[in-house]
Amino acid sequence: MEFNFFIGTDVSKNELDFAIMQNKTFLFHKKVSNTPAAITTLLNELVKLPGFKLSMAVFCMEHTGIYSNHLLGVLFKKQCSVCLEAALHIRNSLGNIRGKSDKIDAIRIAEYAYKNREQLRLWQPKREVVIRLAQLSATRSRLIEAQKVLTTPIKESREFIPKGLVKENTTICQSTLIAIKKDLTKVDKAIQEIIASDLELRRLFALITSVDGIGKATATQIIISTNEFKTINNPTKFACYAGVVPFSKESGLFKGRARVSHLANKKMKTLLHLAALSAIRYNNDMEAYYGRKVTQENKNKMSTLNAVRNKLIHRIFACVNNNRPYEKNYQRLVA
């Protein structure tokens, strides 16, 4: 679509800063409360501008988690075009910048939207069931982290402090750890019930877990991260997103070693790492591949393990795109 109005929005917990541009001309800045009522009032004011139509405007903002939910909800109801971009991506695209304030950030976001108007990727809202799945998955991660915070120091201190103190610490934390374990069981059950109750989620979950090494937690996170393979539907793009694609560094005669980027979804990368370790242990093909690369070709173990992660990603996307589970003994038909 061709847009005439570019509205950059700096989102914070309590306030929203809007910068309104008509093509490359900055019109005005407006600060409102981060509430549905205040956002709706602002949209009513924008409609009164000469030549303004919501269908000819694009709202651009940075990813800010739950703080942007009110704004996204109102814009979705009004059928507005929305662009969600990573803050680092916007910053890097604007060159050398100096100074910072909420107003300046909103103007910069609007300028980014105008300069990149032909390449903007419009936001696709997630289904309610996927949002629930994401929230439960986040709760599960927090419970696991709380469990580690309590158990790790106790385990590490056993060899360095008196046994009486270890026993005392263990006894004090025991009821909390039991409660966390019960809560983890509840959240796992809730996640499985959501997946089982939705036809599309159930289909995707079955296809993803058919690949050796991919467990329930990894499959759930892949569904959430890709928005049911709608936002990311290409294995190479997802591999970049998960930080498992090595990029070369070359300049003139210098040829550096290809390395993966630190700009990645670290949670997804960790889950894929565990999946790769499981795959080379229980999948004969992956075990043979890993062994050949490491022992015969003297490849680095971590780079080989990264290649296994990449293979898993391509197998998952192949299964989803072809709508068929992974076949261990698949043989290509020859015409």
Gap between the Cα atoms of 311 and 280, Å rounded: 11
Distance CA 39, CA 198 (A): 33
> What integer is the mean pLDDT of 272-288?
91
Q: What are residue 20's phi and psi, to 5 degrees? A: -105, 125
Q: What is the DSSP letter of 230?
A: T
pLDDT > 90? residue 87: no
Is 214:316 a contact under the CB 8 Å cutoff? yes
Of 190, 233, 224, 188, residue with least CA distance to 205: 224
Q: Distance of CA 48 to CAs 3, 41, 52, 187, Å?
A: 17, 11, 7, 48
8 A C-beta contact, residue 14 and residue 33: yes
Per-residue pLDDT, averaged over 277-287, amounts to: 90
Instruction: Give me the mean pLDDT over the 213-219 stretch.
Output: 93
User: Rg of the Cα trace of the chain?
Assistant: 25
The model's pTM is: 0.85
What's the pLDDT tens digit per position in 41-54?
999 999 999 989 99
Tell me what the mean pLDDT of segment 280-296 comes to. 89
CB 58 within 8 A of CB 120: yes
287: pLDDT strictly greater than 80: yes
Instruction: Please check the confidence at residue 334 and state whether its pLDDT lies above 60.
Output: no
- The Cα 256–Cα 245 span in angstroms is 15
Q: How confident is the model at residue 37 (pLDDT cuts 50, 70, 90)?
A: very high
User: Which has the minimum average pLDDT: 145-159, 207-221, 309-323?
Assistant: 145-159
Q: What is the mean pLDDT of residues 115-128?
A: 89
Average pLDDT over residues 205-224: 94
Per-residue pLDDT of 321-330, as tens digits, reads 999 999 877 6
What integer pLDDT is reported at residue 86 of this predicted model?
84
**Res 176: pLDDT:** 93
Both tokens of 204, joined, read 């995707």
- pLDDT of residue 331 exceeding 70: no
Adjacent-strand bridge partners of 15? 33
